[in-house]
Amino acid sequence: MPSRLAFVGVWLVLLALLGISMAVTLLELGPWHAALNMILAAASAVLVVWFDMHLRESSGILKLFATGTIIFLLIMFSFGLADWPTR
Amino acid sequence: MSDALPAVHEQFQAPGQQLEADRLGLWVFLASEAMLFGAVFFALTVYHLIHPAAMHAATSRLDLVTGVIGTAVLLTSSTTMALAVKAAREGRRTEALIVLVGTVLLGLAFEAIKVHDWFDEYDQGLYPPMGPPFPLPQPAARLYFHLYFVSTGLHAVHLAVGILLVAGVAASLLSNRMKLPERTVTVEMVGLYWQFVDIVWIFLFPTLYLVSR
Amino acid sequence: MTAEAKKAPPKSYIEDGHTLRSWFFSTDHKGIAVLYLVSITLFFFVGGAAATLIRLELLSPNGFILSNDAYNRLFTIHGVIMVWFFLIPSIPNTFGNFLIPIMIGAKDLAFPKLNLASWWIFVFAGCFVIAALLIGGVDTGWTFYAPFSTMFSNGYVIPAVVGVFISGFSTILTGLNFIVTVHRLRAPGMTWFRLPLFVWSIYATSLVMVLATPVLATTLLLIFAERVFGLGFFDPQLGGDPVLYQHMFWFYSHPAVYIMVLPAFAVMSELMTAFSKKHIFGYKVIAFSSLAIAGLGFLVWGHHMFVAGESVYVGLVFSVLSFTIAVPSAIKVFNWTATMRKGYVSFDAPMLFALGFIGLFVIGGLTGLFVAATGLDVHLTRTYFVIAHFHFIMVGGTVSCYFGALHFWWPKMTGRMYPEMPGRIVALLIFFGFMLTFMPQFILGWLGMPRRYHLYPPEFQVLNVLSSAGASILAVAYTAPLFYLAWSLFYGKRAGLNPWGAAGLEWMIPSPPPRENFETVPVVTWEAYPYPLEPQPVAKEDGR
Ligand code: HEM
Ligand SMILES: [Cu+2]
């Protein structure tokens, strides 16, 4: 299990990502900022799952279920969202 | 696994087996919760996609400052919860208690900010079915706020459950009804739930506040 | 253990307590299975009564007993009850509950209290739906399509939606329980590839339950919020898209049809081996095709929306994927039939149900390909063709298997044999009654008779009367087991450990099983379906 300091480190990174996300939003990057915002959110979520939720030290089956869920969410989004732009 | 383990229920043969079952059960539950929120995100994303102008107008009415503060609060609470699990596993009762109480306070702070936001938005007429007249001309902006209230509401309800759970763990630690590290698993389970709810917000925040801004 | 004077055998789970409390609050998976059995049987007859009225009404082209509105309410309540309160819980929650711990050599599910809670949640949910029915019914159809359900329907949508919403938690918790149980509670030596295929298939079902049902919960929540709080989500006046509703609904509901049919596959593998006395043909292929179906089932939902305004390109993709999902289903059918080859096939009632399943499922599956073809579906959608398609699978297939399972494991659950001759007659009646009911509906749909109307042109009357005649046979055939099974509880022959000479841990313990299932944890050293069985020392316990 990581040391306390490591968790604090993760926390600082999370805050930094939030800061970057705000900067990206306020910089008026046009359509890019939406994608960047979501990527930054995904990165933060991965950090929380991997470290704070201890997935790193968990058994393979838990990792499998965590990734599996993401795959099913991606199915919902990719197939579902494909509908509107192609109508 | 740690030295002292809790009594085993009759359907299990070994404590390790029970612990692994509890963990898997919780992750499967979280998978289910993820799909529940996933569907909300799906609806939100569709409307972002097909009504960009209205979504931009609607998003701009939200208070970015309280949004960022709330997000930072939740990110912090995720860390305190992780520290609580670590302390529990290593048998440091007082430390666990402190970070758990900290987590509860952070959770309450977030809820307070959110309730403040809601009142604020209500006063601006942004709760379309009731209150002052809706200020935006685009009809689809109403769609946005309908989804905004449902998604933040659903998240807030989940967080409230989390607050009760964490407070419950803290209370039984305080009254010595719960022993550490024997009952680490309880802290761990509650922690996983808590951090999951945080992750929901990690995605809700950009989806609601940022992408269409 | 041989001639040694055995101590008093352990009490069976049925004798474990005689109070109501011991039934309603026992966390024993076998007792809970019986609770489900009784409650879904009640729902089956409520849903069946609605079906009877529907078929009665359709005897005449001009609707002679029901108003338009009453007709709408009948087919809605029929669909809601049959889908969520009978089919979805049917095989998993009764036989899955009863058998999974035993088949893997465990004493109970991983979370027995949660299991009991699931049943109570289920009953609580049922109360809402029954209340909706009693206070006046719902007229939206089981699909609750927006914006009709949210803005225009004057039926009791709220209680129905709340009931279905709550029942979803029962489904999710049951699925979760099964998943964890299969992962964590297998007996020593019970490797994944020694599991009976029943377990594999129910495991695949559980994955779908856990991942799809929450999406339905959200969808229903949105309907609820739109109706109660006036928060429009699908309101076209605001720019909302009703097709979004359909995406969300079918993202759940197509996988849900696999929640309904995978458990039937589970039963099939057990019946075909037990009555052919042969090892299953292609164990791993069947095991993995269950998982493949569960996964692919999430990729085809758009085939319900070809004419709903969905993009044609997306429709094309969904259509192609729908064709691919027929492959693992077909593989299974071939494997089951191949299992019979060179086996010692016997035709007891459960086997007749299983063979009936094959016939009806094949027809249902093949017509699935018809409606999955985008062009043909424009003609067939929203006609009786679709009705016949899914009834062939869900009723012809799953309900037949449910009855097959009921007969097959009845001796294990109750310790008594059912009377064989009535069982066989019912199996045959169900098959032929079913054909007579739904074959004419394919033709009706092909000719263009739309679903969900009770008025139709007079030239369709002959086929409709045939269909209703078949339905009356079905009504008799579905009710008869109630009587002879109840009779057998008191007068049936004692079953003994293994009346079928079948393989599987459940046939090595007493019937009915003791509360703890196994006196000592079994150690598994054999593959699944080790036919022909070696003569078991304890197996031949004379039927008396
Ligand atoms: C062989 C694979 C299958 C294919 C390719 C298939 C295809 C389809 C298609 C394309 C439709 C939509 C027809 C329309 O609305 O015009 C449909 C409807 C339906 N199918 Fe299947 N299906 C398959 C298997 C199943 C199974 C296994 C079940 C149930 C256990 C099932 C249950 C249903 C139901 C309930 C509907 C109608 C829902 C409604 O509109 O109310 N299908 N099927
Ligand atoms: Cu489908």
**Measured between CB atoms, which of C243, C302, C312 is closest to A79?**
C302
Q: Residue C12 pairs with which residues in a beta bridge? A: C514
pLDDT at res. C38? 97
| Count of structural domains within chain C | 1
Q: Per the CB < 8 Å rule, is B35 touching C215?
A: yes
Number of Cβ atoms within 10 Å of the Cβ of B29: 19
Q: What is the pTM of this model?
A: 0.95
Q: With beta carbons under 8 A apart, name residues in chain B contacting C177.
A: 25
Q: Residue A7 in contact with residue B83, Cβ under 8 Å? A: yes
Are B150 and C225 within 8 A, CB to CB? yes
The rounded mean pLDDT for chain A is 95
**pLDDT tens string B22-31:** 999 999 999 9
Considering only B89-98, C6-15, C271-280, C296-305, which range has the smallest mean pLDDT? C6-15
Q: Which residues are paired to C416 by β-bridges?
A: C494
Q: Are C248 and C218 in contact (CB under 8 A)?
A: yes
Residues of C with Cβ-Cβ distance to B50 under 8 angstroms: 239, 241
Distance of CA C136 to the CA centre of its chain: 27
Q: Is B105 helix (H, G, I), strand (E, B) or coil?
A: helix
* C105, C528 contact by CB (below 8 A): no
CA B162, chain centre distance (Å): 7
Residue C536 pLDDT: 52
Q: Is the pLDDT of residue C159 over 50?
A: yes
Does C78 contact ligand 1 (Cβ within 6 A)?
no
Q: Name the 3-class secondary structure at C185.
A: coil
Residue C386 Cβ inside 6 Å of ligand 1? The answer reads: yes
Report the alpha-carbon angle C359-C363-C366, nearest 5. Answer: 135
Q: Is residue C6 part of a domain?
A: no
CATH of the domain at C135: 1.20.210.10
Per-residue model confidence as pLDDT tens digits over C217-253: 999 999 999 999 999 999 999 999 999 999 999 999 9
Whether residue C11 lies inside any domain: the answer is: no
CA dist C450 and C468 (Å) reads: 17
Length in residues, chain B? 213
Distance to chain A for B68, nearest Cα, Å: 8
For residue range C315-360, what is the model confidence (pLDDT) as tens digits? 999 999 999 999 999 999 999 999 999 999 999 999 999 999 999 9
Angstrom distance (rounded) from CA B169 to CA C507: 45
Residues across chain A: 87
Token pair in block for residue C449: 């008779």
Contacts of C195 (CB under 8 A, 6+ apart): C103, C104, C182, C186, C287, C528
C429, C421 in Cβ contact below 8 A?
A: no
Question: Residue C170 has what pLDDT?
Answer: 98
Put simply, whether B128 touches C (Cβ < 8 Å) is: yes
Question: Token pair for residue C169?
Answer: 């938690």
Residues C82 and C85: their CA atoms lie apart, in Å, by 6
By three-state DSSP, how is residue C540 classified? coil
Contacts of residue B41, Cβ cutoff 8 Å, sequence gap at least 6: A77, B151, B203, B204, B207
Cβ pairs A/B, distance under 8 A: 116
- Torsion over CA: C204, C144, C115, C485 (sign): negative
State the amino acid at position B195 in one-letter form: Q
| Percentage of chain C modeled with pLDDT above 90 | 93
| Locus of tokens 């306070």 | B105
Position C169 confidence tier, pLDDT thresholds 50, 70, 90: very high
Q: Quick check: CB of C369 below 6 Å from ligand 1?
A: yes
- Cβ distance A76 to C299 less than 8 Å, yes or no, reads no
| Lowest mean pLDDT, pick from A44-53, B159-168, C14-23 | C14-23
pLDDT in tens, C493-539: 999 999 999 999 999 999 999 999 999 999 999 999 999 887 554 43
Q: pLDDT-based confidence at C5, cuts 50/70/90?
A: very low
Q: Which of B55, B53, B31 is nearest to B44 (CA)?
A: B55
The whole-angstrom separation of Cα C48 and Cα C55 is 11
CA closest to A84 among chain C residues:
C311
Q: Is C447 exposed, middle or buried (0-12, 13-18, 19+ CB in 10 A)?
A: middle
Min Cα distance B117 → chain C (Å) is: 18
Question: Residue C106: CB partners within 8 Å, gap ≥ 6?
Answer: B11, C181, C185, C186, C187, C517
Please say whether the beta carbons of B59 and B207 come within 8 A.
no
Please determine, for residue C468, whether its predicted confidence score (pLDDT) is greater than 90: yes
d(CA C464, CA C438): 10
Q: Is A69 on the interface with C (CB under 8 A)?
A: yes
pLDDT of C543 above 70: no
| Cα angle: C182, vertex C408, C414; to 5 degrees | 90
Query: Which ligand has the shortest distance to the CA of C304?
Result: 1
Q: Is residue C9 part of a domain?
A: no
| C-alpha to C-alpha distance for B163 and B166, rounded to whole angstroms | 5
Q: Tell me, what amino acid is at B161?
A: V
pLDDT computed for residue B2 by the predictor: 38
Tell me how far apart the alpha carbons of residues C197 and C224 are, in angstroms, rounded to a whole number: 40
Pure H helices in chain B: 15-50, 52-59, 64-89, 93-123, 139-174, 184-205
The token duo for C371 is: 């409606």
Q: Do A83 and C299 touch (CB under 8 A)?
A: no
Please report whether residue C16 resides in a domain: no
Predicted local distance difference test score (pLDDT) of residue C218: 98
Q: Is the pLDDT of residue C452 over 50?
A: yes
In a domain, C162, yes or no: yes
Mean pLDDT confidence for C84-90: 98
- How high is the mean pLDDT of chain C? 94
| Structural domain contains residue C163 | yes
Atom nearest to C83 CA in ligand 1: 35
pLDDT confidence band for A28 (50 / 70 / 90): confident
d(CA C408, CA C350): 6
CATH classification of B15-210, choosing from 1.20.1250.20, 3.30.460.80, 3.10.129.10, 1.20.120.80? 1.20.120.80
Q: Give residue C254 CA to ligand 1 midpoint distance, Å.
A: 7
Q: Residue C450 pairs with which residues in a beta bridge?
A: C383
Q: How deeply is B53 buried, as exposed, middle or buried, from its count of CB atoms within 10 A (0-12, 13-18, 19+)?
A: exposed
Domain that holds residue C286: 21-542
> Which residues from C are below 8 Å from B150, CB to CB?
221-222, 225, 231, 233
Instruction: Give dist(CA C30, CA C34) in Å, integer.
Output: 6
The Cα–Cα gap between C438 and C387 comes to 8
Angle at B56 between CA B51 and CA B58, to 5 degrees: 95
Question: Within 10 A of C533 (CB to CB), how many other CB atoms are there?
Answer: 15
Question: What pLDDT sits at residue C19?
Answer: 83
pLDDT value for C542: 39
Establish if C5 belongs to a structural domain: no
End-to-end CA distance of chain B: 49
Q: In this model, does residue C267 exceed pLDDT 60?
A: yes
Q: Answer yes or no: is pLDDT of C2 > 70.
A: no
Q: Give mean pLDDT, residues C32-48.
A: 97
CA C353 to chain CA centroid, nearest Å: 14
Region for C543 from its dihedrals, namely left if φ exceeds 0, alpha if ψ lies in -120 to 50, beta otherwise? beta
CA distance A40 to C52: 57
C66 touches chain A (CB under 8 A): no
- How many Å apart are CA C270 and CA C217, to the nearest integer? 33
**pLDDT at A27 (0 to 100):** 86
Residue C1: predicted pLDDT: 39
Given a cut of 90, is residue C20 above it in pLDDT? no
* Confidence check: pLDDT of A57 > 70: yes
DSSP state string for B27-68: HHHHHHHHHHHHHHHHHHHHHHHH-HHHHHHHHTTS-HHHHH
> A1 at the B interface (CB within 8 A)?
yes
Contact assessment for residue C289 and residue C331, using Cβ atoms and an 8 Å cutoff: yes
Dihedral (Cα; C172, C176, C177, C178), 10-degree rounding? 100
Q: Is the CB of C377 under 6 A from ligand 1?
A: yes
Task: Compute φ and ψ for C416, nearest 5 degrees.
Answer: -125, 145
CA–CA dist C517, C499 (Å, integer): 18
Provide the percentage of residues in chain C whose pLDDT is more than 70. Answer: 97
B140 CB neighbours in chain C (<8 A) are 238-240
Q: How would you write the pLDDT of chain B (213 residues) with one tens digit per residue? A: 333 445 677 778 777 888 999 999 999 999 999 999 999 999 999 999 999 999 999 999 999 999 999 999 999 999 999 999 999 999 999 999 999 999 999 999 999 999 999 999 999 999 999 999 999 999 999 999 999 999 999 999 999 999 999 999 999 999 989 988 889 999 999 999 999 999 999 999 999 999 998
User: pLDDT of C75-84, one tens digit each?
Assistant: 999 999 999 9
For the beta carbon of residue A59, count every other beta carbon within 10 angstroms.
11
